Structure 1
Amino acid sequence: MPPKSNLAHVMPLTSLKFLTAKANRADFVVDDLQLQIEAHAPGVYRLRCGAGTTLEERPAGKGRAPAAEMLLARPEAVGELAVSSIVHEGGQGWRLEQGDVALQISSSPMQFALYKGEHCVLRSEAEATLAREAEGDACVWQLSLELDCDEALCGLGETAGDLDRRGQYLVSDLPEMRVLPLAWSPRGWGLYVNAVGRVEHDLAHEHPDYYSVCVHDRVFDVFLFVGEPTEIFNQYSALTGRAGQPGLWPMGVWLEQGPQQSLEELGKTAGQFRAEGWALDAVRLAAPALCGFQADKPVYEWDAHRVADPRALVSGLQALNLQLAAPTFPGVLADTLLFQEWEDRGWLLIEDASGEAHRCAGNEYSGGKPFGLLDLTHKDVYKLWSERQRQWVDEGLGAPVCDAQYDIPDGITARSGEAGAALRTLYPLLARRALFDAVAGHKTPQEGVIFSNDLFPSVQRFPWQSGPRVTNDWAGLEHTLRTALSLGASGVPVQLHGLGSAHHATAGMTPELYVRWLAMNVFSANFAFQGAPGLLPGDFDDATRELVRHWLQWRYRLVPYVLGIVEDAVRTGLPVQRSMALSFPGDPLAHAWDTQYLLGPALLVAPVLQPGNEVKVYLPRGDAWWDLNTGWRYEGGTTWTVEAGLDTLPIFGREGHMLCLGPTAQHTGEFNSARILDEVWMFGMPEHSPVVMRNKIRVMQMQGSSYIKGLEGLRILPSEGLEVKRRGAEVRISRAR
């Protein structure tokens, strides 16, 4: 763990004076600095502090947009602000209101508080709200916030541990820490630091009830959100960008090539899936990169040592109705003519001390060979690499795979001037954006996926996130689940799980664990089988193979619902797998059940994470819940022990919602786009329009009944005590008489 910033000599900013107010902004002077507080959107405040001239600067880097514009999808303010002067016991202050949301700031000492109505949801530290340490152009800011003793703080990136990040110390630009910039509390507030430099989140403070944020940047720039977590996610994703559409085929099941598995063996495995009736849509090839630049010219070609006939590979997969994902990386192999040419041209990242191109140690994508990183901050380099990936897509690639979050040392500089933490933050963003431009940029709406394990600000714009490489035991199952929930709690809508990992010993993967893991994966955003001995369905007994077939049928029936959740993420920023704290912020007891989750708005899933058939489940208060396996209704706020055989999973439908299911299929190409739905399950009287892929189904309430349009010809399974009456294109659900 790196040392914490030495802020012993940092000086708190204390003297606050009001300058002027505009329609959406109030300006203050704090000591000798300028502070701007902006109504960025309803329920969102932007606080910017710095020297007066730096706040107005918008310097463009060479060949690209400013970093701030890259991180914000909506930089302009759209809110309205009402400013009034107040007097309190400590002296003078000001109240900045947006409807029932207000930010109240005091002058001496400088302190702010956020209010929702009359309720204070967040307060800064009284003696040192904002402090600053400056030396030349270098500047460190420290924001100190008070936390209640029992208040959870969620978000801030990936973790395999507790979703409450209290007691942790996190640094944004260290790849191993897996940090993201959104923090939020179930109490009703959130914080986003808009910076590409280093940001330190200190929740392991010597005083346990403080949260300190240290920002290494010339300008202090943070956004404060007020509202329920779902409102915070909506505003955060509107501010920083939302995920693009994934399309239909990526929602199908994946097969990943094992590290030692040849293409011929992979083809035989895919053929076995088809022969056994195990549904499958795509294969993902293992590293090293399958395409790359030639040694002496910028021509992008398939690796002839791995793929002698690319057309035969693509056509063979197409014959099995399979799509192809393959690895790539933004580099040029060292000690080649092209490396020397691009080093001379300034198209590679440069070492400050020598002025020469930086040589990265070989990794799995480069086949272990050292390479130079393309300077993607240079517009010509960015364009060239994106166009070469587009060429590869045109030749049959369905999705690129690229992990570009390199631990770039200090002393490495890009053409645009970024170095150190800023370059470590921006580089994976540029790599993934270039790939998304190649895959989806020419489509309207933009549709496509890029697989990557990288984390960086605005990562949620570019689907999908690869899951971690976990151990093949019960701990590994819980690990992949917790990372998905923590990423979802940090604004990333989708994680693709692996069913085990081909990079770890498989001795611990028992048939029971394999089926439990598969069942959890089915009720997630998506997953991939691993092409390694001991991790494929064919490696197990007949009973296990039949259970695999059973769960894969469930998966494809769920595709319309899951893709509907992903499409909803494009509008709301909410993840597919939603933690209890995110879904039920007002039920503190639910937060303790942190391996349960909501799959979209309608289904509560309690994965089986240990051997045996008995599972304890907590059903959150405020709703009733319907057991999908028995049809029984349970009141919320209750705990139950349920029996779950290997062909079942504890899943409960939320009262007032519906689950729309599609047909069974072997791949998504069998779906009839004109009739994607097959069956509708009711959980009590319908009150909410269902989440369904590209379907217009609307629920209306009248005279104690629900009238639903859009269910023509579908089989409808009502809950106990309800009856269905069809009236032409309309379905009426009412109490049974």
Structure 2
Amino acid sequence: MKFTDGYWRLREGIEAHCPAEAYRILPEADSLTVYAPVRRIERRGDLTDGTVLTVRCSSPLPGVIGVEITHFDGGPARGPELALCADTATDVQVRVDDESATLTSGSLSVRFARGDTWRMDFLADGRVLTGSGANAMAYIVADGRSYVREQLDLDVGHHVYGLGERFGPLVRNGQSVDVWNEDGGTSTEQAYKNVPFCLTDAGYGVFVHHSGRVSFEVGSEAVARTQFSVEGQKLTYYVIHGPTPKEILRRLTALTGRPARLPAWSYGLWLSTSFTTSYDEETVTSFIDGMAQRELPLSVFHFDCFWMREWQWCDFAWDPRTFPDPDGMLARLKARGLRICLWINPYIAQRSPLFAEGRERGFLLRRPNGDVWQWDRWQPGLAVVDFTDPAARDWFAGHLGALLDQGVDCFKTDFGERIPLEVEYFDGSDPERMHNHYAYLYNQVVFELLEKRRGRGEAVLFARAASAGAQRFPVHWSGDCEASFAGMAQSLRGGLSLGLCGFGYWSHDIGGFIGRPDPAVFKRWIAFGLLSSHSRLHGGWSYRVPWEFDEEAVDVLRAFTRLKMRLMPYLGRIAEEAHTEGLPMMRPMVLEFPDDPACAHLDTQYMLGDSLLVAPVFSADGRVRYYVPEGRWTSLLTSTTVEGPRWVEERHGFDSLPVLVRPGAVVPLGAVDDRPDYDHAAGDTLRIHPGSGSTVTRIISADGRPAAVFTVDRSESRTRVTADRPVDGWSVLLVGAALPSTVRGAEAEAVADGVLLRARTGTVTVEAVG
């Protein structure tokens, strides 16, 4: 939201009250409070009236400082607010002298200047990261409504990222962003997943602890400042030190929650009925048979909306006209080794048998006059479940539990963005603040039910809406994207942006949702989709089985699905990093290479974990242009090398795309290529790429425990690989190497990619000399 008319003036109808000085300072053991009048206090008469802002600083964890700006504090607490995960008893150091007042938490300090001007700076290692100066912080009255605004300095060459899943350019500089969930597709400024957190490449991030609308002006209204404002009398935000972007994300997710660990089967290929297509058990079986006949590995089958009767979404009952024997059908599907996903949403149509029950028991949102809130969009007479009522939560979860009893494994938690404001909640929540937070409660109810019934590490969603903290309930997918190369690129930008807000896993509709993709779009999207954390074939008005497009699409899907299955030992490790550290599996280049200025704006390529660079092809003719950072990178698919730093232009067939291995990386490939849930340590081949030094590669089991740890020590003349425990039948591939003169502990042979060393069973040491 913009308040100024250029540099000198405020917009008509706006008053701004900005701190003039740190007049009174109150140091305490765990906090520092500053009383800041909006005019200089020069004589006693200046103390009799006027606005004073109270600025209280504290720390929930080391390296994170919270700032609470308050004008009037007499109103009731307006919830909901996200419950933070961090310990509130972090040790801080508070120092006050004649020149300044400082609170320090770990590596980060906040310092208030004492004197004739207002200045609040955030420092790390003696360097100012950012700060709030004259006319930055403000209490504002605009057309009779109150707002609190903050502006933090944005220095030359610094870039801002994040603010949820946004589909435009990755760098937010110059953008106006309202953090407000909308069902707007992937091709506009609206977003399904809004998070009031921005990450910078200047050593810090900022999380605004506010569940309602937060308005950001990132180098837009004031081009040298990042501005954020909320309606009301109070604003709370946290400055999070890094100094690296990865460390910022680790601290952010320690504050707001880390993604749950996901089951190994969820990383396999998901196939959907699609949205409005006609289907029954015969159709579903024909799809599954077709996949099996073509040797296309399939892990999950998803039933979209019309598994229920029309106009009754949601009643959680199979449409008996189409599925007369759901129990038998599910048993037959599960006998084929498939997991089952069902589409749901948090809305109850008037024709649903659950509507009257929900109305009578008070489980549906009501207008202030007591009527159930309803409208005719999406479903006739639609109402919304009130998840602030514990009984309503249990009621909703109970119907899902009956589906779990039938054999359903997970749910696609669709919708949850169009949450009305003219309603009253059971717990008295403020509707404006609940609008975004509703997505958190909705997904929490379903995810916690799955954890309770299936166990931790087995729960998984396919969720569209999200707000701050909702990364705890994965997976999230991009929503309704266009079936075009532009839609594919929009989806990628959204996923990379979301990953910079603490969301560890992310997916999208392979081929796009809106419209029927051209075969070239579909085949290019397959490669991108199978090199994403989670992979789903889904569309709006047409099926997404590959033979609906052409036979080459079948071959492309087979090749990339099998590649992903073999990559599971590698993906398992980076998935564990998402769970334990809050680092996304799909990473913008700037996250891995923050010191390379060429990576700052890159949003059409990404790192899959720390070792694989992926550049999706956004053209039918296969032309692609991508950037390679410093060092000698090796193609995972062809073992050709590229020397960086430089831009590369190539042309790829539908069975290929740039997938480059980072210099010196060790990438484990599994021995199984037809399913994701296998022993990731047995039969591995460690692809060791040229480099020096020591590398530790962990193979993670499905429950997060190390299944094996391989240590690779390299010098110019020797490569030694050691397993920490007996491992069955593993191999080493020295990529690009010549046959060595001496090998101990393995048999060596020259292969097209380099030298293959077949290790003996047990804990062994391989030593190659020469």
Change (3 A) 1:326 1:318: same
8 Å Cα contact 1:565-1:692 kept in structure 2: no
Change (3 A) 1:341 1:707: closer
1:501-650 alignment to 2 at 5 Å? 501-506=512-517, 509-510=518-519, 512-530=520-538, 535-621=544-630, 623-650=631-658
Name the CA distance, whole Å, in 2 between partners of 1:429 and 1:452.
10
The answer to whether 1:423 aligns with 2:434 is yes
1:11-50 alignment to 2 at 5 Å? 11-17=17-23, 19-31=25-37, 32-50=52-70
Q: Residue 701 of structure 1: CA displacement?
A: 4.7
8 Å Cα contact 1:519-1:551 kept in structure 2: yes
8 Å Cα contact 1:80-1:98 kept in structure 2: yes
Out of 310, 323, 335, which is 1:307 matched to?
Answer: 323
TM normalised by structure 2 equals: 0.85
Q: Residue 281 of structure 1: CA displacement?
A: 0.8
Change (3 A) 1:634 1:118: farther
**Amino acid in the other structure paired with 2:689:** F
Q: Residue 232 of structure 1: CA displacement?
A: 0.7
Match of 1:85 in 2: 96
Change (3 A) 1:453 1:201: same
Change (3 A) 1:708 1:105: farther
8 Å Cα contact 1:614-1:644 kept in structure 2: yes
Name the CA distance, whole Å, in 2 between partners of 1:596 and 1:79.
39
Match of 1:267 in 2: 285
Name the CA distance, whole Å, in 1 between partners of 2:431 and 2:334.
44
**Amino acid in the other structure paired with 2:151:** S
Which SS does the other structure have where 1:350 is aligned? coil
Which SS does the other structure have where 1:67 is aligned? coil
**Paired residue total:** 710
Out of 455, 471, 478, which is 1:460 matched to?
Answer: 471
Q: Residue 475 of structure 1: CA displacement?
A: 1.7
Change (3 A) 1:396 1:157: same
**Amino acid in the other structure paired with 1:197:** G
Change (3 A) 1:39 1:700: farther
The answer to whether 1:411 aligns with 2:429 is no
Change (3 A) 1:616 1:661: same
Q: Could you report, residue by residue, the CA deviation over 1:101-157 in whole angstroms, capped at 9, with x for unpaired residues?
A: 322222443322222213322122x21232113799974210011212432110011
Name the CA distance, whole Å, in 2 between partners of 1:6 and 1:237.
41
Which SS does the other structure have where 1:9 is aligned? strand
Change (3 A) 1:51 1:540: closer
The answer to whether 1:142 aligns with 2:149 is yes
The answer to whether 1:214 aligns with 2:193 is no
- What is the Cα-based RMSD across aligned positions, in Å? 3.2
Change (3 A) 1:52 1:214: closer
Match of 1:696 in 2: 708
Q: Residue 361 of structure 1: CA displacement?
A: 2.4
Name the CA distance, whole Å, in 2 between partners of 1:86 and 1:733.
62
Q: Residue 633 of structure 1: CA displacement?
A: 4.7
Q: Could you report, residue by residue, the CA deviation over 1:523-570 in whole angstroms, capped at 9, with x for unpaired residues?
A: 111222237657422134444433332222112112232233222101
Name the CA distance, whole Å, in 2 between partners of 1:427 and 1:581.
32
Change (3 A) 1:20 1:44: same
Which SS does the other structure have where 1:687 is aligned? strand
Name the CA distance, whole Å, in 2 between partners of 1:406 and 1:195.
17
Match of 1:397 in 2: 408
Q: Residue 431 of structure 1: CA displacement?
A: 0.8
Q: Residue 167 of structure 1: CA displacement?
A: 1.9
Name the CA distance, whole Å, in 2 between partners of 1:198 and 1:541.
46
Change (3 A) 1:133 1:256: same
**Amino acid in the other structure paired with 1:273:** M
Structure 2: give runs of 5+ residues left out of the alignment: 5-10, 38-51, 185-189, 702-706, 747-759
8 Å Cα contact 1:660-1:681 kept in structure 2: yes
Structure 1 stretch 224-233 or stretch 285-294: which is displaced more? 285-294
Match of 1:9 in 2: 15
Change (3 A) 1:300 1:580: closer
Change (3 A) 1:468 1:328: closer
**Amino acid in the other structure paired with 1:726:** G
8 Å Cα contact 1:522-1:551 kept in structure 2: yes
Name the CA distance, whole Å, in 1 between partners of 2:489 and 2:284.
28
Name the CA distance, whole Å, in 2 between partners of 1:93 and 1:247.
52
Q: Residue 490 of structure 1: CA displacement?
A: 2.4
Match of 1:475 in 2: 486
The answer to whether 1:190 aligns with 2:205 is yes
**Amino acid in the other structure paired with 1:143:** E
Change (3 A) 1:441 1:22: farther
Match of 1:332 in 2: 348
Structure 1 stretch 463-472 or stretch 702-711: which is displaced more? 702-711
Name the CA distance, whole Å, in 1 between partners of 2:235 and 2:100.
21
**Amino acid in the other structure paired with 1:14:** A
TM normalised by structure 1 equals: 0.88
Q: Residue 3 of structure 1: CA displacement?
A: 10
Name the CA distance, whole Å, in 2 between partners of 1:140 and 1:305.
55
8 Å Cα contact 2:484-2:521 kept in structure 1: yes
Structure 1: give runs of 5+ residues left out of the alignment: none
Identity %: 22
Structure 1 stretch 170-179 or stretch 236-245: which is displaced more? 170-179
Structure 1 stretch 105-114 or stretch 279-288: which is displaced more? 105-114
8 Å Cα contact 2:511-2:526 kept in structure 1: no
8 Å Cα contact 2:291-2:297 kept in structure 1: yes
Name the CA distance, whole Å, in 2 between partners of 1:203 and 1:586.
22
Match of 1:121 in 2: 129
**Amino acid in the other structure paired with 1:180:** V
**Amino acid in the other structure paired with 1:355:** G
Which SS does the other structure have where 2:579 is aligned? helix
8 Å Cα contact 2:504-2:584 kept in structure 1: yes
Match of 1:484 in 2: 495
The answer to whether 1:666 aligns with 2:678 is no
8 Å Cα contact 2:277-2:542 kept in structure 1: no
Match of 1:679 in 2: 685
Q: Residue 449 of structure 1: CA displacement?
A: 0.9
1:709-720 alignment to 2 at 5 Å? 709-710=723-724, 713-720=729-736
Match of 1:154 in 2: 161
Out of 274, 279, 286, which is 2:304 matched to?
Answer: 286
**Amino acid in the other structure paired with 2:745:** R
Change (3 A) 1:535 1:344: closer
Q: Residue 233 of structure 1: CA displacement?
A: 0.5
Name the CA distance, whole Å, in 2 between partners of 1:142 and 1:71.
23
1:322-401 alignment to 2 at 5 Å? 322-334=338-350, 339-340=355-356, 342-352=358-368, 354-363=369-378, 368-401=379-412
